[in-house]
Structures are given as C-alpha cells and as structure tokens.
Structure 1
Amino acid sequence: MIKSWMVIGGVAILVALAASLIQSSDRQWFRRLQRPRWLTFEAAIPIIWTVIFICGAWSAYIVWERNPGTISTWLLMSLYLILEIVIIAYTPVMCRLRSLQAGTIIGGTGFIIGLILTLAVLPISGWAALLLVPFLLWSPIGTYTTWQMIRLNPQDA
C-alpha cells in the first residue's frame, strides 16, 4: 500500500522538478545580475530551500494524518500545493519575464499564502505550523533580496 508520506513527497518532488525547466539563456540573464554585497550566502540557498521543502512536506503529512480524506484536509493539501507552485514559479517566471519586479511580487505572494496556511494548520497541529516557520523566516529574506536587486539592476526591474 502506498503511504501518505510517499504521495506527499512524490507530489512535492514532481512540482519542484518544474524549476528545472529554465532555459540556459534565462539562467545567464539571472547570473549576470548584480547582487547586494551582503549576499554572501548565495551558495547555501539550494540547501535552505531543500530544508524548507522537506519541512513543508512533513507539515502536510502531519495535517493529512490528523484527518485523512476529509474535505477540510483536502482543501489544506490544495493550499500546500498552491504554495509550492508559487514558490517554484519564482525563478522560472522571473527569468522568463526577465523581471525582478515579477520575482518580488511572487515572493511576497508566497509569503502571504504561507502565512495563511500556517494560521490554518495551527489549530490542527502546532508541529505542522512550526514546520512552516522556516519558510516564513526565509521568504521575506529572498523577497527583500530580489527587491534590492531591482535597485542594483534597474534595467531588469
């Protein structure tokens, strides 16, 4: 029998693979952008996002296991999926549009969805809500960084 954590993890991985659809010209555009001097941890960003996605999937698993198959749980699973799609959309959409402003808007939207999701799961499980905190802490940093890059790269706003 397929376990719920396998389905949740599988969906998370499939959605995350969509980020690999970035064309090389889009990657080159992003690489050439100037970054804030204080952005010394850029190499750690993939690790940070991996931890965030694992925490998010674990949170979804906890919520699912509390009330499997109910309409409210399916709605929360939809919100988890929407959040992941928004998070994953950040890079391909920003790079395809070559617009840091689009990235900033997507980042801010993701934070709002993440906050709503956290508040929605809090009554169900404090642990599930706590596992979303890494995203709530990191998302404003990434969004602020993108916003700062607009100032450094006004031609790519």
Structure 2
Amino acid sequence: MPPWLLILITLLVVTLVINPSERNFSWYRTLRRPGWMSMDPWIPAAWFVISVSFYFSALSFWFKTGEWLWVAAYASLLVLLRSQHCVICRLRNLSAGLPIWLLGWMLTFSLALFVRPTSPLAAGLLVPVLVWTPMEAIVTLQMIGLNRKQHRSGRGANDRRPARSRRL
C-alpha cells in the first residue's frame, strides 16, 4: 500500500470514528452562540481545510524522512484535535474541551517547530490548525458565558423536564 494512501485512510478513519453521536451533538446545537459568530456554515469548510493541510503536512514530512514514527505522531495529534467536540458533547460540558484545545495547540506548535528544519512546507501546512484552535477556544469561552445554566446542568435550552432534586 502506498504511503499517501495509508496516511489518507488513517486521516479519514480518525475523522469518522471520533465524532459526537447525533444524540450528543443535538445538545450542542441547542446552545446559544456569540452574536458575531455568523459563520456556522463555514465551520465544516474550515475543518475540511484543516484536515487537508494536516494530511499534506504529514505526507510532506514522510516524503522527506520516510519515518513512520512521525506519521504516528501526526495520527496521535489528529486524534487529540478531533476528540474535543466528542468530549464536549458526551460530557455536555463546554469547558471540558478547553484543556484539550490548549494541549492540541501546544503539541501542534511543538510539531511544527520540530518538522520545520526538515520540511518547512510541512511546518507551514500546520498553520491552519494553529490559527483555528485558539478561535474555537475563544468561541467556546464566550458560549460558556452565554449558556451558564446549560453549561452547569447539562440541560438544553428547550428542556422542559423538571429539574432533579439534589436531596437524598
């Protein structure tokens, strides 16, 4: 199997497997967003660009070095980057994604610094991740403020069930 195909299959499998379920994602869709964020339809397009640049970064570095260990590092980082939304939606807690975003950004920055001497192209192709990750964290921080009740309770804005008592 050619390396480009193996890297592509890995990227696609990780992307498809690490997605929140429809049930969990429906909670996320009920949350209020910042007023300035009118780019909801563009978010999938941004992730597409990030995935493509991530793929070509891994492929470019592999062509320069031929080392599968670093392709595994790329795959591990991809798992971390894609798991943020799954964790947020599964736990129904917006702040659960913030440490993952921070760790993902720091590891992406470290990887970019490491691959730059060998392949400046591979490092440059990681820039979309380095730009997008802080933007998502900023949006999430603002969403936490807008959805205080849902953030604490895990209940959506349209949830009409009576609140559970904390008494024993």
When the two structures are superposed, what TM-score results if normalisation uses the length of structure 1?
0.91
Q: Is the 8 A contact 2:57 2:122 kept in 1?
A: yes
* CA contact 2:18–2:79 (8 Å) conserved in 1: no
Map Cα deviations across residues 65-98 of structure 1 (whole Å, 9 max, x no partner). 1121xxxx33322221121101111111110000
2:127 aligned residue? 133
Percent identical residues: 34
Match of 1:142 among 114, 133, 136: 136
In 2: Cα distance, 1:143 partner to 1:122 partner:
26
Q: How does 1:32-111 map to 2 (within 5 A)?
A: 32-68=30-66, 73-111=67-105
Shift of 1:44: 0.5
Instruction: State whether residues 84 and 101 of structure 2, in contact with CA within 8 Å, keep that contact through their aligned partners in structure 1.
Output: yes
Task: Give 4+ residue runs of structure 1 displaced > 4 Å after superposition.
Answer: none
1:42 match: secondary structure: coil
RMSD: 1.3
Residues 43-65 of structure 1 show CA distances to partners (whole Å, capped at 9, x for unaligned) of 10111111111111101111111
The separation in 2 between residues aligned to 1:24 and 1:133, in whole angstroms, is 30
Name the larger-Rg structure.
Answer: 2
The residue that corresponds to 2:160 in the other structure is none
2:5 paired residue number: 6
How many equivalent residue pairs?
151
- Is the 1:29–1:98 Cα contact (8 Å) retained in structure 2? yes
Could you tell me which runs of 5 or more consecutive residues in structure 2 were left unpaired when the two chains were aligned.
Answer: 153-168
